[in-house]
């Protein structure tokens, strides 16, 4: 059983729940661990329930008919993953996949329990709608990037964002992983990275990329 004190730190609207609802959550929530690269949710997987990330990082993505992966958004510490409980979302008519990008520990809320809370609690329903709206905004931003931004602009932005997130100018990341995040092909990313290297904006090594000139990358965006 997870302590109510710990849950109150990670569930944003804990204080808006009744004592009965808080106790029900504490009795039902489980702590789960996922290894890096583990597929958590997708076609053929059972309805996992909602996940609140305690530590680590998750990636939500879709797969095109041709097999290309397109990252929708990432989830970090203290953020909630809704699509792992897509079975309770009647209007979701597409497959969303979720994988652990890092070693991840999360609180798992059973889908049926969360559905019950949404039906009983206006704050929970509002919080869920607001979260869905945020993710919808993230996806619309992604579509805008894919449709209207050049690949060099998107790649420059991605490299700068990744180094900012990890506070390090060297990224340990494959070209395939970058392509998945940008919704592009690995060959296209490799060609563009080689161009960046020829301009001395980055340097490439086996399995890593080092940012050498942030100013020029920022000018591309």
- Ordered domains of the chain (ranges, CATH): 4-141 (2.60.120.10), 148-220 (1.10.10.10)
Question: Which of 63, 126, 114, 56 has the alpha carbon at shortest distance from 84?
Answer: 114
pLDDT digits (tens, 9 = 90+) for 55-111: 999 998 888 777 788 888 889 899 998 877 776 666 655 678 899 989 999 999 998
Three-state secondary-structure class, residue 19: helix
| Cα distance between residue 53 and residue 76, in whole Å | 7
- pLDDT mean across residues, the chain: 87
**pLDDT value, residue 43:** 61
Question: Which of 207, 181, 179, 183 has the alpha carbon at shortest distance from 191?
Answer: 179
- Summarize the confidence of residues 38-65 as an average pLDDT: 83
Question: Which of 123, 131, 126 has the alpha carbon at shortest distance from 16?
Answer: 123
Contacts of 216 (CB under 8 A, 6+ apart): 199, 201
Query: Is pLDDT above 60 for 44?
Result: no
For helices 19-28 and 111-120, give the axis angle rounded to 10 degrees.
170
**pLDDT value, residue 45:** 60
- Summarize the confidence of residues 136-161 as an average pLDDT: 86
pTM summary value: 0.73
What is the DSSP code string of 115-172? Answer: HHHHHH-HHHHHHHHHHHHHHHHHHHHHHHHHHHS-HHHHHHHHHHHHHHHHT-SEEE
**pLDDT value, residue 156:** 94
Higher pLDDT, residue 165 or 180: 180
């Amino acid at each position: 059983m997870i302590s109510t004190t710990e849950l109150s730190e990670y569930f944003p609207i804990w204080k808006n729940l009744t004592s009965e609802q808080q106790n029900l959550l504490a009795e039902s929530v489980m702590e789960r661990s996922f290894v890096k690269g583990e597929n958590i949710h997708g076609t053929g997987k059972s309805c996992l329930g909602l996940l609140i990330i305690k530590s680590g990082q998750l990636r939500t993505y879709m797969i095109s008919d041709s097999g290309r992966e397109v990252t929708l958004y990432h989830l970090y510490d203290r953020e909630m993953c809704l699509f792992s409980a897509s079975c309770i979302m009647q209007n979701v008519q597409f497959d969303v996949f979720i994988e652990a990008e890092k070693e991840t520990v999360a609180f798992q809320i059973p889908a049926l329990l969360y559905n019950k809370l949404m039906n009983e609690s206006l704050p929970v329903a509002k919080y869920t709608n607001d979260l869905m709206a945020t993710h919808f905004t993230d996806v619309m931003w992604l579509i805008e990037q894919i449709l209207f931004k050049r690949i060099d602009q998107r790649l420059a932005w991605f490299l700068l964002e990744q180094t900012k997130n990890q506070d390090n100018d060297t990224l340990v990341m494959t070209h395939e992983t970058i392509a998945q995040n940008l919704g592009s092909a690995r060959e296209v990313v490799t060609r563009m990275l080689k161009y960046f290297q020829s301009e001395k904006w980055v340097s490439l090594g086996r399995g890593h990329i080092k940012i050498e000139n942030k100013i020029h990358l920022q000018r591309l965006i």
